[in-house]
Structure 1
Amino acid sequence: MTRNIRHAAVFCALLLVALVVNAARVQLVRGPEFDGNPANRRPDIARYGQPRGDIRVGGEPVTGSRDTGEHLRYERTYTEGPLYAPVTGFASQAYGTTLLEHAEDGLLSGADPALAPIPLWNDVTGFGNAGGSVETTIHAGAQRAAFEGLGGHKGAVAAIEPATGRVLALVSTPSYDPQHLSGNGAAVKRAWERLTGDPDKPMLNRAVRQTYPPGSTFKVVTAAAALDAGVVSDLDAPTVSPDPYTLPGTRTRLTNESEGCRDASLREAFEWSCNTVFAKLGVDVGVADMAATAEAFGFNDDGLRVPFSVARSTFDTSVDRAQLGLSSIGQYNTRATPLQMAMVAAAVANGGQARTPYLVERTVRAGGAVVATSGSSPAREVMSPATAARLAELMRGVVENGTGANAAIPGAVVGGKTGTAQHGVGNSGTPYAWFVSWARGGQDAEPRVAVAVVVEGRAADRGEISGGGLAAPVARAVMAAVLGS
């Protein structure tokens, strides 16, 4: 009898070992396979089983969560969704996440290990964390001014605090309401099909993901290169610049929209945006120095993130002299995001020092404890302080005496540069209206905001499209909102 009991005990022990081994095999070896199986809804149920953390602007949430009472319990909600969509992106149960919702998904969803009270706590207890919140650098007044300023136009605005790199505004129009994509029902599918099929591309973040020929706003870069290289030393001395200017090695003659550009000084050429002067300056500076200056400003950088990725702004380094002339006035293959051109204006405003832009001020736990802070990156020198001071003087002249008068703010010091960028085969496309600028309040020691605005003009208004007419008033509204806060 005892022998039979012993055999039964051994057999039961073997069964227990087999169960433990099989459980370990399922959990550890085949666990990832089961987690990734489309039929396994447990990860989704857990992910949406609690409210998502908030994205905040000025300390106030611009996102929320709604209890649906369904298996995927909580859906994302958005306060003034179209206004902040270029910042937040969307968090959809059906289509995933974009922009800040994607870059900070671990923290917002509660999955980030940094939210655990002690390392490996959740692995041991099996409990999850409440989602953390993301405090952005966005200035609510500047964001609204940019959005309302663009109005019904297609375009984008980016604004930066020059001394720190804090992103104060990111606006893209037309926009969309990300809440329409939050759930997973038939209405969400219809909204997705409508938005992705819209030829105006409302889900495209034009401020950071679309590049444009910057046109005459790129003359800020060309002027910096010419001054740093010593090609120009006196802002008021006549340049040797024919009008029209025949591009080197070609029969193509470059002309100007303004009169009086022949042999114009750098100051006059900057204020009235003389193409001939700046094309020749770029050729005289040469490809190597032009490329070095452009890259110091941030062109040709594949790695810029804010924290989501930013499209690469380009300055072609393999051009001949004729192509270099066109590149130096923001045409040919030169392309830039609005954020990149805001970085150009910010570097001038900050005495030639550039700060990498950033959008997240800090991340915090549900209880308010800080998880991480961002802060300014080390400054890099884009140009000499003397060159930056002279460029700031030139940009002030554009607003006070030239094509940027619509950006002037009473009681403030404003510098700017207009641009009207041609594009398309034979310049057949409707031009883009550009304006880049910076502003300092009357009592401020240094500029507080740098802005870039691009407006995609309508074909019907082609003859009236200009940076000073369309884009400068938007920039003025954004700058005034920051200075008045």
Structure 2
Amino acid sequence: MTRYIRHAAVFCALLLVALLVNAARIQIVLAGPYDHDPANRRTTIARYDRPRGDILVGGRSVTGSRDSREQLRYERTYTDGPLYAPVTGFASQMYGTTLLEHTHDAILSGTDPVLTPLPLWNDFTRAHSPGGHVVTTLDRAAQEAAYEGLGGRKGAVAAVEPTTGKVLALVSSPSYDPGLLSGNSAATERSWARLNADPDKPMLNRAVRQTYPPGSTFKVVTAAAALDAGVVTDVDRPTDSPDPYRLPGTRTLLANEGDGCEDAPLRDAFEWSCNTVFAKLGVDVGVADMAATAQAFGFNDPGVRVPFSVAPSTFDTTVDRAQLALSSIGQYNTRATPLQMAMVAAAVANDGELREPYLVERTTTDGGSTLSAPGPRPVRQVMRRTTAERMKELMEDVVTEGTGTNGAIPGATVGGKTGTAQHGVGNSGTPYAWFVSWAQGDRDPEPRVAVAVVVEDASADRGEITGGGVAAPIARAVMEAVLDS
């Protein structure tokens, strides 16, 4: 009888061991697959069971969390949602995350291991760390000035600090309220459908995800390439440029909007934006040197991140001479984001050195302790210092007596370049109005801000003055906001 009891006890012990092994297998080996199984809602419920960390601008939160008292308890809220949507993106219980809400989701949701000083203890107790915060580089006044300046018109504004690469403003218009997408109700679904069906594309981040023909603002790049290559050695010497200019190998004649461009010196041609002069300069510089200069400014770089990805700006390196002439005046296949053109202006303002732009100053714990502080990114020399000095002079002339006088600021030195970019079949679309600029206060040791503005639905006037009349006042307001801060 004792033997039977002993056998039964051993069998029960084996069953117990088997149960323990299976439990360990499920909890350790299969934990990952179970956690990520779509049918398992425990992870999702835990994710929304606590407030999300905040995104800060100028020391104040532009995000928050609302207790819905539902199973997915906390929903994201936004202060001035449309103003900051191109920076924050959205955090939705139904549609995921975008922009900063996406790139820093682990910090904001509290799931990043750096927020957990004792991970094994937290795993044992099932405790969750509170979400951390993301501190941006934005200048609140500059952001507001850019948004108000666009006034709901289609377009975008990007502003950076030339010496560091800090993004000071990033605005896209028309915009949307990301708070409409936070929950999981039928109203959220309707908002999602409405925003995606809107022909004005309010969820498109035009500042970093939309490329445009930069038009005459690209002449900053062409002029820098011509000076660096030695094609132009004296900005006041005639350039031997005909008006009109026959595109090489074709019968197509390129003309100017105004008079006085024939044989114009670089200074005058830049001031009044002579297409013929810059088309010929681009051809004289050649594809290789034009492409090298454009790439130094950031064109053709698919890896730009701020930290979310930026659509690559492009300069076609496979063009023939006629196409190169058009590319050199910001047409043909040349495309740029507003952020890229702000980088162009910043490189000129910073003596030819370009800092890669960045948007996050630091991340912190819920208590305010710093987790990471990326700081300024590496610098690269885009053009010779002497070339940058000439380019600053040329851009200043545009504002003092050329097409960009609407960008002038009393008590400050401002350089700029206007642009009107043709597009559409047969250039039938309403031209895009551009203005790129930089500003330095009289008491500032160096330029404080570089700005790029593009307005899609500007006046149909096709003269260069369109950029100065429509986009320059917006850039001026942004620059004033930074200089006054």
1:484 aligns with 484
Whole-Å separation in 2 of the counterparts to 1:379 and 1:38: 45
- Aligned-pair identity (%): 75
1:173-230 deviation line (CA, Å, top 9, x unaligned): 0000000000000000000000000000000000000000000000000000000000
SS of structure 2 residue aligned to 1:466: helix
Offset at 1:458? 5.1
User: Is the 1:53–1:107 Cα contact (8 Å) retained in structure 2?
Assistant: yes
List alignment gaps of at least 5 residues for structure 2. none
Alignment of 1:88-127 (within 5 A): 88-118=88-118, 120-127=120-127
For residue 22 of structure 1, what is the amino acid of its counterpart? Answer: N
Whole-Å separation in 2 of the counterparts to 1:330 and 1:217: 7
SS of structure 1 residue aligned to 2:475: helix
2:448 aligns with 448
User: Is the 1:299–1:313 Cα contact (8 Å) retained in structure 2?
Assistant: yes
User: Is the 1:432–1:465 Cα contact (8 Å) retained in structure 2?
Assistant: no
Whole-Å separation in 1 of the counterparts to 2:326 and 2:120: 58
Whole-Å separation in 2 of the counterparts to 1:92 and 1:481: 33
Shift of the 334–113 alpha-carbon distance from structure 1 to 2, 3 Å rule, reads: same
1:348 equivalent in alignment to 2:348: yes
SS of structure 2 residue aligned to 1:5: helix
SS of structure 1 residue aligned to 2:400: helix
2:49 aligns with 49
1:474 aligns with 474
2:248 aligns with 248
2:299 aligns with 299
SS of structure 1 residue aligned to 2:213: coil
Whole-Å separation in 2 of the counterparts to 1:46 and 1:189: 23
SS of structure 2 residue aligned to 1:94: coil
1:334 aligns with 334
Deviates more, 1:241-250 or 1:12-21: 12-21
Whole-Å separation in 1 of the counterparts to 2:459 and 2:352: 38
User: Is the 1:457–1:465 Cα contact (8 Å) retained in structure 2?
Assistant: no
2:58 aligns with 58
Offset at 1:14? 1.0
1:378 aligns with 378
Shift of the 458–408 alpha-carbon distance from structure 1 to 2, 3 Å rule, reads: closer
Whole-Å separation in 2 of the counterparts to 1:120 and 1:256: 71
1:53-104 deviation line (CA, Å, top 9, x unaligned): 0000011000000001111000000000000000000000000000000000
2:148 aligns with 148
Whole-Å separation in 2 of the counterparts to 1:257 and 1:476: 25
SS of structure 2 residue aligned to 1:37: coil
Alignment of 1:196-235 (within 5 A): 196-235=196-235
Alignment of 1:233-272 (within 5 A): 233-272=233-272
Whole-Å separation in 2 of the counterparts to 1:121 and 1:295: 50
User: Is the 1:306–1:359 Cα contact (8 Å) retained in structure 2?
Assistant: yes
User: Is the 1:431–1:465 Cα contact (8 Å) retained in structure 2?
Assistant: no
Across the aligned residues of Structure 1 and Structure 2, the Cα RMSD in angstroms comes to 1.4
Whole-Å separation in 2 of the counterparts to 1:303 and 1:243: 40
2:399 aligns with 399
User: Is the 2:419–2:464 Cα contact (8 Å) retained in structure 1?
Assistant: no
Offset at 1:450? 0.2
Offset at 1:119? 5.3
2:433 aligns with 433
Whole-Å separation in 2 of the counterparts to 1:467 and 1:409: 17
User: Is the 2:404–2:468 Cα contact (8 Å) retained in structure 1?
Assistant: yes
User: Is the 2:418–2:464 Cα contact (8 Å) retained in structure 1?
Assistant: no
Offset at 1:367? 1.0
1:364-407 deviation line (CA, Å, top 9, x unaligned): 00111110001101210000100001000000000001000000
SS of structure 2 residue aligned to 1:76: strand
1:14-58 deviation line (CA, Å, top 9, x unaligned): 111111222233233433333333221111101101000000001
The two structures have a TM-score, normalised by structure 1, of 0.98
Whole-Å separation in 2 of the counterparts to 1:174 and 1:351: 35
Whole-Å separation in 1 of the counterparts to 2:476 and 2:458: 21
1:170 aligns with 170
For residue 57 of structure 1, what is the amino acid of its counterpart? Answer: V
1:3 aligns with 3
Shift of the 126–62 alpha-carbon distance from structure 1 to 2, 3 Å rule, reads: same
1:194 aligns with 194
Whole-Å separation in 2 of the counterparts to 1:334 and 1:293: 13
For residue 27 of structure 1, what is the amino acid of its counterpart? Answer: Q
Deviates more, 1:22-31 or 1:285-294: 22-31
Whole-Å separation in 2 of the counterparts to 1:383 and 1:458: 32
1:365 aligns with 365
Whole-Å separation in 1 of the counterparts to 2:21 and 2:465: 73
SS of structure 1 residue aligned to 2:296: helix
User: Is the 2:420–2:462 Cα contact (8 Å) retained in structure 1?
Assistant: no
Whole-Å separation in 2 of the counterparts to 1:48 and 1:353: 45
Whole-Å separation in 1 of the counterparts to 2:401 and 2:80: 39
For residue 281 of structure 2, what is the amino acid of its counterpart? Answer: L
For residue 94 of structure 1, what is the amino acid of its counterpart? Answer: M
Whole-Å separation in 2 of the counterparts to 1:206 and 1:234: 38
